[in-house]
Amino acid sequence: MTGRNALDLHVPAPRARPGDTPDFSGWSFPEPGDTPRPDVDTPAAELRDFAYGLIRVLDMEGAALGRWAPRLDADTLRRGLKTMLLTRAFDERMHRAQRQGKTSFYMQCQGEEAISIAQAMALAPDDMCFPSYRQQGILIARGYPLVDMMHQIYSNRLDPMKGRQLPVMYSSKKDGFFTISGNLATQVPQAVGWAMASAYSGDGRIASTWLGEGSTAEGDFHAAMTFAGVYRAPVIVNVVNNQWAISSFQGIAGGENTTFAARGVGYGVPALRVDGNDFLAVYAVMQWAAERARSNLGPTLIEHFTYRAGPHSTSDDPARYRPADEARAWPLGDPIERLKAHLIRVGEWSEDQHRAAQEEAIDTVRAAGRDAEKVGVLGVEGAHEIGSMFEDVYKEMPWHLQRQRDEAGA
Amino acid sequence: MTSMTMIQALNSALDVMMSRDPKVLTFGEDVGYFGGVFRVTEHLQQKYGAKRCFDAPINECGIAATAIGMAVYGLRPVIEIQFADYMYPAYDQIVSEAARIRYRSAGDYTVPMTVRMPYGGGIFGGQTHSQSPEALFTHVAGLKTVIPATPYDAKGLLIAAIEDDDPVIFLEPKRVYNGPFDGRRDKPVQPWSKHPASEVPEGYYSIPLGKAQVVREGGDLTMLAYGTMVHVALAAAEDSGIDAEVIDLRTLAPVDIEAIVKSVSKTGRCVIVHEATRTSGYGAELAALVQEHCFYQLEAPIARVTGYDTPYPHALEWEYFPTPPRIIKAMRRVMES
């Protein structure tokens, strides 16, 4: 055949692999403070540019700039910073606990603390969260006891999930925190349904949900965006673009072609792209989206542009697929360092206070850890009655499960 | 009492529950203004408004998932999957999510949702409008699976399903929507109005899940069936001259083991009939249960009459699904051994 080109299959690959120098060259971002803040009732069609930009408030020296600056009082900012420190200390201890054989599995959110924590703080306490597995910051921000999280991670006698779930798959209805699934993106259309139910019931509560950029490729995300757009559900869909889905860089999910926020454009859902390591910008964007949902104006998609500084989980070794120092080279810094710099800059924080807060966080986690380990770590015999395995499959135990429970010797 | 088709009875169940409980709402493809491709939700939008009965995008995953979210919120959604054959995109949401949310959250969250799906063949629907996927649900811990065979049961069981606090898969045998098709090729299907089980109370009543019903008493052998096959099994019993006891299981999970054991212990022989493919079909579970519970009462091997292990063949559907002659052959075999 003449006149036909030989076709070539494109398989995306990241710029840098182990041994290479991290390469973020050519990435350009709008300057902090440069992005205008539209009114919440602006039609989606007029907001398209926001899907391709990047909302930033903090510059790298800690100054808060522009109309997106949320003007939070110093106490709120200090609370945000301390919650991030506490979350990081918690992660460090529990990651180590897994290495020490105290549990089977753990997942840190290192580098992504601002996202869950600023967002939880921007929501009302009774707004409903449908998180993925890396938003432990929501629970911590809402005051859920660290020791109960640890009981869950250790699957011990006091585990609120009765030892049934993989570590970090928390659930707390009273804290508006949906039971975490290990399946990806399933929670996103569920959050849309919850929000539809809230609107149907004439409730004032809204829903928020989180997924990684990698799992936007799941059909569930398309389902969620379709339903959210069609029924104008009061829901906020957060795509946490931390660049890595286990070992697959964001290009494997389509990130080479456009932004993840741009997914919203096709559904007619306003989409904002925000610097996920900028506590103030994340807070402000969440406030905007929440106000929009509460005003019956429907859903918002937020892409949080960030970097997964740790491994995917304790079962993962990122040294095998990305440069070891890529996190340090991330051009948008670390969320804790950046909020700290801001608070110091405005005279509301100091290096000494920071050190003290870090120590306090470590002490708090250590104390909770001691209490949890006293109750037991994974594998302690007799932590759960065998019979408990058969409970909660149904509201009432049917005959066949009663029989199997007897067979199991319970 | 009014004579109703199964469609009217299902419609009446939804109507009764929507009028009793504002937490009940229904949605699915073409379910709203049009009233569903099989008319099960007819007039509900006009009566209860578009917020309680509405059309959904063509996305079964989204339909199931949003219903889960609604149920978690505290509503009692009833969703329609237009054909059970379209269920597969929703399967992950049903199996990994709806079925397990109570368990994985240790009872913190529950999913009181009902998933209605017309299933089964005999309507020249081809491969994608004829399947019987019940075993894909009965295999899943945390789900209840219900299949009615008559208008009376359809209404009472659907009301019980909606009131149930666990997710219920409600499979509707669409071949008997308008009349008790019995698989006799030479006889036209009678309308429901000539069948006693079409007499349906207009108001509220429910039939407990997990309870089978003996629809024909007999002493020679036990036939276990559900859905359309109940009527085919009854026709086979009638045509065979064998005094068969026919049990309509009504709920497949959790199954009414007492009713099965009682009957098979009495007759000593068992024929299982279903439309679905045979291998790993629900009949295999029934055969195992009968063997476990009634081995010493059995006089003959258990027989299964089922769809063949092929995709559903459009032109050959009469050869594919069990008909009275095929069932009679199995009954004779069981009687002779």
Provide the chain A residues 202-231 that lie in CB contact (below 8 A) with chain B.
207, 219-220, 222-224, 226-227, 230
- Measured CA to CA, the distance from residue B37 to residue B39 in angstroms comes to 6
Indicate the DSSP class of residue A374: H
Structure tokens at A136: 């432990």
B312 band by pLDDT with thresholds 50, 70 and 90: very high
**Which percentage of chain B shows pLDDT scores above 90?**
100
Nearest CA of chain A to the CA of B71: how many Å?
8
Chain B: closest CA distance from residue A192 (Å): 6
Residue A26 confidence (pLDDT): 84
Residue A381 pLDDT class (50, 70, 90 cuts): confident
Instruction: Check residue A1 and give its pLDDT.
Output: 56
Amino acid of residue A258: T
Using CB atoms, pick whichever of B70, B101, B255 lies closest to residue A193: B70
Tell me how close the Cα of A264 comes to any Cα of chain B, in angstroms: 17
Contact B254 A179 (CB under 8 A): no
> B 12-51 residues with CB below 8 A of A?
25, 51
Average pLDDT, chain B: 98
> Percent of chain A at pLDDT above 70?
100
The alpha-carbon gap from A215 to the nearest alpha carbon of chain B, in Å, equals 15
Alpha helices in A123-184 (DSSP H): 136-141, 146-154
What is the value of pTM for the model shown? 0.98
**CA–CA distances in Å: residue A344 to residues A63, A70, A80, A280:** 10, 17, 14, 15
The half-sphere exposure of B324 on its side-chain side, counting CA atoms within 13 A, is 19
Q: Enumerate residues 6+ apart whose C-beta is below 8 A from B329.
A: none
- Please state the φ and ψ torsions of residue B177, each to the nearest 5 degrees: -55, -45
> Is the pLDDT higher at A107 or at A2?
A107
Handedness of CA B286, B292, B295, B297 (dihedral sign): negative
The owner of tokens 């000539």 is B194
The length of chain A in residues reads: 410
What is the band of B209 on the pLDDT scale with cuts at 50, 70, 90? very high
Q: For domain B213-336, give the fold.
A: Rossmann fold (3.40.50)
Which tens digit of pLDDT belongs to each residue from B215-231? 999 999 999 999 999 99
- pLDDT bucket at B170, cuts 50 / 70 / 90: very high
Decide: helix, strand or coil at residue A364.
helix
Which residue of chain B is at minimal alpha-carbon distance from A173? Answer: B108
Kindly state the average pLDDT of the residues B32-44. Answer: 98
Q: In this complex, how many residue pairs, one in chain A and one in chain B, have their CB atoms less than 8 Å apart? A: 138
Residues B81-110 pLDDT 10s: 999 999 999 999 999 999 999 999 999 999
The residues in B 121-160 lying below 8 A from A, measured between CB atoms, are: 141-142, 144
What is the arithmetic mean of pLDDT over B113-130?
96
- Write the single-letter amino acid at A255: G
Give the distance from CA A103 to its chain's centroid. 22
Q: Where are the domains of chain B?
A: 2-200, 213-336
The pLDDT value given to residue A410: 85
Whether residue A207 has pLDDT greater than 90 = yes
Identify all chain A residues contacting B75, using CB atoms and an 8 Å cutoff. 197, 200-201
Nearest-CA residue of chain A relative to B93?
A: A186
CATH 3.40.50.970 given to domain A44-312+338-379: yes
Structure tokens at A184: 């990806």
| A282's tokens | 């994340």
**Inter-axis angle of helices A74-99 and A335-345, to 10 degrees?**
150
Task: Name the DSSP letter for residue A318.
Answer: G
**Chain A residue with the nearest C-alpha to that of B165:** A395
**Closest Cβ–Cβ partner in B70, B107, B141 for A197:** B70
State pLDDT tens for residues B247-256. Answer: 999 999 999 9
Helical H segments across B216-311, by residue range: 228-240, 257-267, 282-294
Check residue A177 and report its DSSP letter.
Answer: B
Radius of gyration of chain A (CA): 22
Quick check: bond before A335 cis, omega within 30?
no
Report the percentage of chain A scoring pLDDT > 90: 97
In Å, how far from its chain's centre is CA B119?
Answer: 8
Predicted confidence band of residue B337 (pLDDT cuts 50, 70, 90): confident
Answer whether B65 sits within 8 Å of A192, measured CB to CB: yes
Pick the residue of B53, B86, B102, B108 with the most A CBs within 10 A to test the interface with A by mutation: B108
Q: Look up the CATH number of domain B2-200.
A: 3.40.50.970
Distance (Å) from the C-alpha of residue A405 to the closest C-alpha of chain B? 14
**What mean pLDDT, rounded, does chain A reach?**
97
Check for a shared fold between B2-200 and B213-336. yes
Q: Using N-to-C axis directions, what is the helix angle for A113-122 and A335-345, rounded to 10°?
A: 60
Question: Is B139 one of the catalytic residues?
Answer: no
A116: three-class secondary structure by DSSP: helix
What is the rounded average pLDDT of the residues B308-318?
96
Q: Work out the pLDDT band at A171, boundaries 50, 70, 90.
A: very high
Q: Where are the beta strands (DSSP E) in A290-378?
A: 300-305
A405 close to B (CB below 8 A): no
Partner residue facing A394 (CB), from B66, B92, B142: B142
Q: Report the alpha-carbon angle B303-B307-B310, nearest 5.
A: 130
Rounded to 5 degrees, what angle do the CA atoms B270, B271, B275 make?
Answer: 150
Overall average pLDDT of the A207-226 stretch = 98
Strand partners, B118: B172
Amino acid at A340: K
Contact B285, B260 (CB under 8 A): no
Picking from A182, A185, A179, A183, the residue whose alpha carbon sits closest to that of residue A215 is A185
pLDDT reported for residue A2? 67
DSSP string, B154-221: HHHHHHHHHH-SS-EEEEEEGGGSSS-----TTSPPPPGGGSGGGEE-SS-----TT--EEEE--SSE
Residue spans per domain, chain A: 44-312+338-379, 386-410
B88: which 2 tokens?
């597969």
* pLDDT score of A239 more than 80: yes
Residues 136-165 of A with CB under 8 A from B: 160-162, 164-165
Question: Phi-psi region for residue A168, left (φ > 0), alpha (ψ -120 to 50) or beta?
Answer: left
ipTM tops 0.95? yes
Helical (H) or strand (E) element with B224 = strand B221-225
Helix (H) or strand (E) holding A403: helix A399-407
Q: Which two tokens stand for residue B190?
A: 């009678």
